[in-house]
Amino acid sequence: MCGIVGYVGNQKVSNLLINGLKRMEYRGYDSAGISVLQDGKIQTIKKSGKVSQLEKLVDHTLYDSTIGIAHTRWATHGEPNDINAHPHHSSDDKISIVHNGIIENYAAIKKNLQEKGYTFRSETDSEVLAVMIQAIYEKVQCLEEAVRFALNEVDGTFGLLVLSSHEPDRIIAARRGSPMVLGIGDGEYIVASDASAIIQHTRQVVYLNDNEMAIIKRDGFETKTIMNEATTTHIQEIEFDLEHIEKAGYEHFMLKEIFEQPETFRDAFRGRLLADKGNVKLGGLTQVQEKLRQAKRIIITACGTSWHSALVGEYIIENLAQIPVEVEYASEFRYRNTPLYPDDIVIAISQSGETADTLAAVYETKQKGATPIGIVNVVGSSIARETEAGIYIHAGPEIGVASTKAFTSQISVLTILALYLGRMRNLSQSDGKRIAAEILEIPDKIRRILNRSDEIKALAKKQAKSRNYLYLGRGYNFPVALEGALKMKEISYIHAEGYPAAEMKHGPIALIDENMPVVIVATKDEIYEKVISNIQEVRARKGKVIAIATEGDENIKDYANHVIYIPSTLPMLTPVLAVIPLQLIAYYTAVELGCNVDQPRNLAKSVTVE
């Protein structure tokens, strides 16, 4: 949510910052702006709309500056217009800031500063930081101190970069609850909210900790806490390559990521699944192994698509390990007084590892003495660092705002986790081997579905005028119905509802008429016959049935208007296969409707505000 980038070094900065913003545009695209220090003054250009709008206004020949900061915004306070765009200036224009997060007590601070005669231009919470730093600077005459004092006054979260003509040789970066990564190049530093803006310049990075700040100059950097205590830095290497954050010939990142799933699903279990032993090795859980063995209950908490994979995980873990599992939206978990006991395990699932609500749920877990475990994609992210143990999903950067490959990789990890927990309990080795053998087959089965994408594209085109969709599934495939509906809503703006198939008759059935496409996951398993009854209920109301069925099931053609076949697998593994056609239907519908697939309106990839 909001991308921020800053540079100090020996290269001309404006082009470099714009390129950095483009790499992070998936984090927010309501407005964009840059500030550079030119001839002793801060020069700022900002514009509502996407980075390409800003780029048109920036004449790179005007600037030979080698220091600057930039921002791409996902609006929270104040509509996304030019004035509310970042960077924000102090009222004397000598300090410029870019900010990701929310300053909760901004109204009181603003009032106080206004009473002292300071003026404001925007409706944002962020601007108070710039003006407050100015007010403090006027007293202390030291930028670092002014930033530090200001940050100690604010409630809320920040990923912050500060540039000032008072001290033109430095950028000050700080974070609390919002990611901030410092890339260390040769005589240059690039600091950003996302490693994807850095990788073009260097792979060596330092992840700032919460309440830590960095003073970054051309000849070196220093980190300390915002309480002015010295901190030690740990230089790490970015794990992915540039090609991972490029489209590689695909029209959209989302399509590329859908097609990566045979590999990403495998990468999530590679080196962990011991197929010949019917067991699993999870190095990231070694230190909590005994707690897992003793656990009486698991709570899985997440948001969005990750919450859907949590629901799949609930069914698989309860089946294989016979441990009661509860799934809870992180936003609910953190605020209601959830009873938690020391032998509870709380699994936080998050692609970005930065979702504010999920991170808060991890803090709440720690506060109450239970054990937090992360299932995270982004290495070094806040949730990965705040949890006691964890399993990376290794899906590589996911840029499309609508999550696809992270979902299937999360299920890959949840499946092997269930196997791991099961084998600690009553699951036999032969059952373990049988499940492991089937997991190994999944990548190829995903590939077979992807090979039929043209058929799904034609179907999506035919249905694109529909204004509503209903998605139904039962058992393991109920969360798939939710995820299919979410994908459709997110990128094509068509209203879609996911429902347990059997619950349809308690409400949604009233919506069904000849204009309503109903996507039903009807794979061959023990509840297949029941799902066929649900299909008949839809057909009786003239609904158009699109069935996701198991290859070889000819019978279903008698009931459905259209059948999309997926290969047969174990029921617990069908979600990974069944979701692929649903991702493709949503994708091709959005393309047909001319929607911006990778940057759907109002959404952001990583939601670092509550």
According to the binding rule CB under 6 A, does residue 568 interact with ligand G6P? no
By CB under 6 A, tell whether 401 contacts ligand G6P: yes
Residue 133 burial (C-beta neighbours within 10 Å; 0-12, 13-18, 19+):
buried
178 binds ligand G6P (CB under 6 A): no
Rule CB under 6 A: say whether 303 interacts with ligand G6P. Answer: yes
Least distance to ligand G6P, CB of residue 303, Å: 4
What strands lie across the sheet with 67-73, from one edge to the other?
A: 41-48, 31-38, 67-73, 3-8, 189-192, 181-184, 204-207, 236-237
Phi and psi, residue 275, nearest 5°: -60, -40
β-bridge mates for residue 34, sequence order: 45, 70
Report 234-263 residues binding ligand G6P (CB under 6 A): none
Are 491 and 599 within 8 A, CB to CB?
Answer: no
**What DSSP string describes 289-320?**
HHHHHH-SEEEEEE-HHHHHHHHHHHHHHHHH
Q: Residue number with the shortest CB distance to ligand G6P? A: 304
Name the phi and psi angles at 222, rounded to 5. Answer: -140, 140
**Residue of 2, 405, 445, 544 marked active site:** 2
* Of residues 122 and 355, the one with the C-beta less far from ligand G6P: 355
| Token output for 124 | 């944002």
| Nearer of residues 453 and 606 to ligand G6P, judged by Cβ | 606
In whole angstroms, the minimum distance from the beta carbon of 401 to ligand G6P comes to 5
* The only residue of 501, 603, 608, 609 in contact with ligand G6P, by rule CB under 6 A: 603
Minimum distance of ligand G6P from residue 526's CB (angstroms): 30
Among 403, 412, 523, 589, binds ligand G6P (CB under 6 A): 403
Among 22, 23, 71, 605, the residue binding ligand G6P under the rule CB under 6 A is 605
Among 100, 355, 463, 492, interactor with ligand G6P by CB under 6 A: 355
Give residue 332's region: left, alpha or beta (phi > 0; psi -120 to 50). Answer: alpha
Q: Are 321 and 348 in contact (CB under 8 A)?
A: no
Piece in contact with ligand G6P (CB under 6 A), picked from 199-207, 400-408, 475-483, 559-567:
400-408
Q: Which residue in 143, 191, 195, 151 sits closest to 169, CA to CA? A: 143
Active-site residue identified among 50, 405, 445, 605 = 605
Q: How many residues bind ligand G6P (CB under 6 A)?
A: 16
Question: Can you give the length of the chain in residues?
Answer: 610
Nearest to 490 by CA among 605, 350, 603: 603
Distances 164 to 123, 161, 365 between C-alpha atoms, Å: 22, 10, 40
Supply the minimum distance, in Å, between the C-beta of residue 469 and ligand G6P: 18
CB of 304 to ligand G6P, least distance (A): 3
For position 305 contacting ligand G6P by CB under 6 A, the verdict is yes
Do residues 503 and 455 lie in contact, with contact meaning Cβ atoms separated by under 8 Å? no
> 358 or 415, CB closer to ligand G6P?
358
Minimum CB–partner distance for residue 352 and ligand G6P (Å) = 3
Q: Does 72 bind ligand G6P (CB under 6 A)?
A: no
177, 304, 396, 571: residue in contact with ligand G6P (rule CB under 6 A): 304
Task: Considering the complex, state which of residue 321 and residue 402 has its C-beta at the smaller distance from ligand G6P.
Answer: 402
Contact between 606 and ligand G6P by CB under 6 A: the answer reads yes
Smaller CB separation from ligand G6P, 103 or 402 = 402
Asked whether position 306 contacts ligand G6P by CB under 6 A, the answer is: yes
Amino acid at 25: E
Burial status of residue 428 (CB atoms within 10 A of its CB: 0-12, 13-18, 19 or more): exposed
Residue 557 catalytic?
no
| b/e code 203-238 from CB counts within 10 Å (16+ = b) | bebbbbbbbbbbbbeeeebebbebeeeeeebeeeeb
Q: Which of 358, 492, 550, 599 binds ligand G6P (CB under 6 A)?
A: 358
| Residue 423 identity | R
Q: In this chain, which of 197, 325, 607, 609 binds ligand G6P, going by CB under 6 A?
A: 607
Closer residue to ligand G6P in complex, CB, 124/352: 352
DSSP 370-402: -EEEEEESSTT-HHHHHSSEEEE-------SSS
| Of the candidate residues 351, 492, 523, 568, the single one contacting ligand G6P (CB under 6 A) | 351
* Least distance in angstroms from the C-beta of 195 to ligand G6P: 15
Tell me how far apart the alpha carbons of residues 8 and 20 are, in angstroms, rounded to a whole number. 13
Does the annotation count 303 as an active-site position? no
CB–CB of 193/100 below 8 Å?
A: yes
Which C-beta is closer to ligand G6P: that of 97 or that of 356?
356
Closest approach of ligand G6P to the CB of residue 308, in Å? 8
Place of tokens 């279903």: 556
Helix (H) or strand (E) holding 324: none
Catalytic residues: 2, 605
Q: Which residues bind ligand G6P (CB under 6 A)?
A: 303-306, 350-352, 355, 358, 401-403, 603, 605-607
